[in-house]
Structure 1
C-alpha cells in the first residue's frame, strides 16, 4: 500500500528550533539529560547549527543563535518529552540541579502525569509519563 501525499508534501516533524545564545552551555545541559548531539556545524561566518536528539527519538531539537537583530527570549516551547517513569525522571532532574517544577502534576485520566523544566536559556519543556493511551 503506497502513501498518498496531498498538498504540500510535508510528511513529518523533523526538528524544532530553540534560539540559544550560549550554545556550549545548552549543549552540555541537554547531553547531561541523555540527549545525543548528532550535528554541530558552522552556520555562516560566526554561528553554529547544533542538533540534539533523545536516545530513541527521531525528532530532535535544533540549537542555533537567535536571528540577527533579535534576542533569545525564554519561551514556553510546546515541546513534550515522554518517560516511562515520571517520578524517577523528576527526581533525577532535581538531583542534577535542573530548574524543574517542585512537584509532578497529576490531573487524573486521561491527562498523564507531567512536569515542566527550564533549560539554561529559560525555555520551558514538558515531560509527561507514557501511559500507553494513545
Structure 2
C-alpha cells in the first residue's frame, strides 16, 4: 500500500456543535464540510474544520468507543510567539512554549474542550 498524504485527521468530541464553536470561534479555523449521512436513527454527521489558508482538515466525530478526547495533531505557523499570544487573548488553554534549540522547532500545545491536543510548531 502506498500512502501519499494524510487525508484527514480525526478527533473524537462530546458535542460536534460545541467543538465547531471552539475551532471556529477560539482558534479562528473555518468549517470545510458539514454534512449528514445515513438515514433514520443511524444517521450521522461528518464535520471538518481547518486553519484558514491551509489544506489541512480535521474531522470532529462523536466517540466511537468510550470517552472523547486523547487525540493529537501538529500544525505549523510562521510565527509561534504571535500565534501563542493571539490564542491566549482568545481564551484558549495553551501550554508553555518549548523547543527552539538545535534541530527541535519552537512549539506549544493548545487543548480543546474534549482533551485533544493541537501542537503549534514553528515552520522551518
Normalising by structure 2, what TM-score?
0.86
Task: Provide the aligned C-alpha RMSD in A.
Answer: 1.6
The answer as to 2:81 corresponding to 1:84 is no
- Cα pair distance change 1:76/1:38, threshold 3 Å: closer
SS at match of 1:82: strand
Is the radius of gyration larger for structure 1 or structure 2?
Answer: 1
Q: CA offset at residue 53 of structure 1? A: 1.5
Normalising by structure 1, what TM-score?
0.81
Tell me which stretches of 4 or more aligned residues in structure 1 moved more than 2 Å.
8-11, 43-47, 71-74
The answer as to 2:123 corresponding to 1:127 is no
In structure 2, stretches of 5+ residues that fail to align are none
Q: CA offset at residue 113 of structure 1? A: 0.7
Task: Give the number of the structure whose residues are more often helix, by fraction.
Answer: 2
- Identify the match of residue 31 of structure 1 among 24, 35, 42: 24
Higher relative contact order (CA 8 A, sep 6+): 2
